[in-house]
């Protein structure tokens, strides 16, 4: 772990392993065996460096085999969660004075350790959230990218910033941290988003109370342990899993909470925003909320598109990681002139998708996250059968895991429930558009605005999409998932959140405030 600021190379994305190298396959198989041997461990709270066991624990279950507990994670009480906020506030008084170089070096060291242990992180995500081998490695690579990118960005913000010269004055602009904050990450990008949100707050001089999703709390525990292993001081990052109804509102509403960084559903995000907006007795600030919420993402296929490329892009975007991405394609909007051909080719492409336990490399699609999600998605499928024409899928697979077939429903009306509501599962609605004008109109008819894509050979149509397709991340002639840190800053409009642009050059500003200083000469 010898990375130093003095010999810093420009940022570049971590390569994603595709497991064509036999050595990588062997390493992954060994990691899967090693992680499985550690199933059933308990993971305590961590507050101010103290590991605290609790009577109530949250089991993290393998969605491919819910009888298997990956681990048991301590559940914080309201009192313990409040104490974590108070500790984070106290430790902020010291942590804010550490240099940007020192904080950045912690992230560089963390990224280096994550590289060394990537197969174990990958294996844990295969088991804990049902990722395929490649999806898991992409998740780990993105976590590494966030740490590397944000460390460099923190150094940039700590540097000198140009201001307009004023005669007789020496002026400067500094960026300073906010305070103690709450980080509430999702389960779907169990390592990347959790580590990215935490490291962004940390490297800018803030302290953190991390409340992970109950479905992916073990990997969050691993990451917090890694941060302490490399020497991040006690109390700077505190680990407090727990039931949202028990501690979620409490830590958001606490008067010492300065900011809340949230990624998850629209419903919970709006509640976080509402609760954070209410000023508590003794509170000195307006809390800042960074929210990345849901999506109902469309891929528009114009009449002149490369149909085969569009079919592949739609299939990968819709069914990668079981459609459990806020960026996933859940609507294919297809020009009427090629609609029938597109649907037939899509049906054949989806038939090639293998579904099963992703600890087996051969399975491209795994289980949905839990039984509750399985039931919710299944209800949407039944609704979809009434709202359109079932092309393929629609069924549960087996009885022991949370497996669903990739499901395509065609002839869906633009205002149908399955065309408007976020399903967060392997269900795709195919909508027929009269022409390109109609397709763009449909693409903009939801309350969300996260990702979208257009397939067309006509540059004029692509230029129109740049102006008219109202999403935070627009992709042209490529799939609508797979944003890379640095190259594809990520965040959406409308009910998709605050357009936080994670992995972009302005993201760290969300965890900083500007201080102008003027000295008379």
Q: What token pair was written down for 131?
A: 């990722």
DSSP letter for 248, please. I
Structure tokens at 340: 């029938």
Sequential DSSP letters for 186-230: -STTTTHHHHHHHHHHHHTT-EEEE---GGGHHHHHHHHHHHHHT
Q: Residue 403 in 3-state DSSP?
A: strand
Question: Phi/psi of residue 199, each to 5°?
Answer: -70, -30
Total count of residues recorded for the chain: 521
How far is Cα 52 from Cα 42, in angstroms, rounded to an integer?
11
Q: Count CB-CB contacts under 10 A for residue 267.
A: 12
Candidate list 292, 387, 405, 422, residue with the active-site label: 292
What one-character-per-residue DSSP string does 137-166 give? HHHHHHHHHHHHHHHHHHHHHHS-------
Q: Is 392 a catalytic residue?
A: no
Separation between Cα atoms, residue 355 and residue 378, nearest integer Å: 16
Q: What share of the chain is helix, strand, coil (3-state, %, to 5)?
A: 40, 20, 35
CB atoms within 10 A of CB 280: 14
292 is catalytic: yes
Among residues 128, 153, 326, 480, the one annotated as catalytic is 326
Give the whole-angstrom CA distance, residue 448 versus residue 311: 23
Which class for 396: exposed (0-12), middle (13-18), buried (19 or more C-beta within 10 A)? middle
Of 86, 75, 90, the C-alpha closest to 254 is 86
Q: What is the DSSP letter of 132?
A: -
Q: Which two tokens stand for residue 298?
A: 């469309």
Q: Which residues of 39-71 are buried (b: 16+ CB within 10 A; e: fewer)?
A: eeeebbbbbbeeebebeebbebbbbbeeeeebb
The catalytic residues are 292, 326
């Amino acid at each position: 772990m010898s990375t130093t600021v003095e010999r810093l190379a420009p940022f570049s994305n971590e390569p994603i392993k595709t497991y064509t190298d036999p050595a990588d396959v062997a390493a992954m198989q060994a990691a899967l065996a090693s992680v499985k041997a550690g199933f059933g461990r308990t993971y305590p709270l961590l507050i101010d460096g103290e590991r605290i066991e609790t009577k109530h624990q949250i089991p993290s279950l393998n969605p491919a085999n819910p009888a298997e507990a990956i681990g048991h994670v301590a559940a914080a009480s309201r009192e313990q969660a409040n104490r974590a906020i108070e500790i984070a506030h106290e430790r902020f008084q010291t942590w804010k004075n550490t240099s940007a170089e020192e904080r950045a070096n912690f992230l560089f060291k963390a990224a280096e350790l994550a590289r060394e242990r990537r197969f174990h992180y990958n294996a844990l995500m295969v088991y804990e959230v049902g990722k395929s081998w490649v999806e898991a490695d992409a998740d780990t690579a993105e976590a590494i990218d966030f740490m590397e990118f944000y460390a460099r960005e923190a150094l940039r913000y700590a540097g000198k910033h140009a201001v307009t010269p004023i005669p007789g004055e020496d002026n400067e602009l500094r960026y300073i941290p906010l305070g103690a904050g709450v980080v509430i990450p999702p389960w779907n990008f169990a390592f990347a988003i959790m580590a990215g949100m935490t490291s962004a707050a940390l490297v800018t001089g803030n302290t953190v109370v991390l409340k992970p999703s109950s479905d992916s709390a073990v990997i969050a525990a691993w990451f917090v342990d890694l941060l302490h292993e490399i020497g991040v001081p006690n109390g700077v990052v505190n680990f407090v899993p727990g039931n949202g109804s028990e501690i979620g509102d409490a830590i958001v509403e606490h008067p010492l909470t300065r900011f809340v960084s949230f990624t998850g559903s629209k419903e919970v995000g709006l509640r976080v925003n509402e609760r954070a907006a209410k000023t508590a007795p003794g509170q000195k600030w307006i809390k800042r909320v960074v929210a990345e919420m849901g999506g109902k993402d469309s891929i528009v296929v114009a009449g002149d598109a490369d149909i085969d490329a569009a079919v592949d892009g739609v299939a990968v975007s819709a069914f990668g990681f079981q459609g459990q991405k806020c960026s996933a394609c859940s609507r294919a909007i297809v020009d009427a002139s090629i609609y029938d051909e597109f649907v037939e080719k899509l049906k054949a492409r989806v038939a090639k998708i293998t579904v099963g336990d992703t600890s087996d490399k051969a399975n491209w699609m795994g289980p949905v996250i839990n039984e509750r999600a399985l039931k919710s998605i299944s209800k949407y499928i039944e609704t979809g059968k009434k709202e359109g024409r079932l092309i393929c899928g629609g069924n549960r697979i087996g009885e022991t895991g949370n497996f669903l077939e990739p499901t395509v429903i065609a002839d869906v009306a633009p205002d149908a429930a399955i065309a408007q509501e976020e399903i967060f599962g392997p269900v795709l609605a195919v909508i027929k558009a009269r022409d390109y004008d109609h397709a763009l109109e449909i693409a903009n008819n939801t309350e969300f605005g996260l990702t979208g894509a257009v397939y067309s050979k006509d540059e004029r149509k692509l230029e129109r999409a740049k102006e008219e397709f109202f999403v935070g991340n627009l992709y042209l002639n490529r799939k609508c998932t797979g944003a890379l840190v640095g190259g594809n800053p990520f965040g959406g409009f409308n009910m998709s959140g605050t357009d936080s642009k994670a992995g972009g050059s302005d993201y760290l500003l969300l965890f900083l405030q500007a201080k102008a200083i003027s000295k008379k000469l």
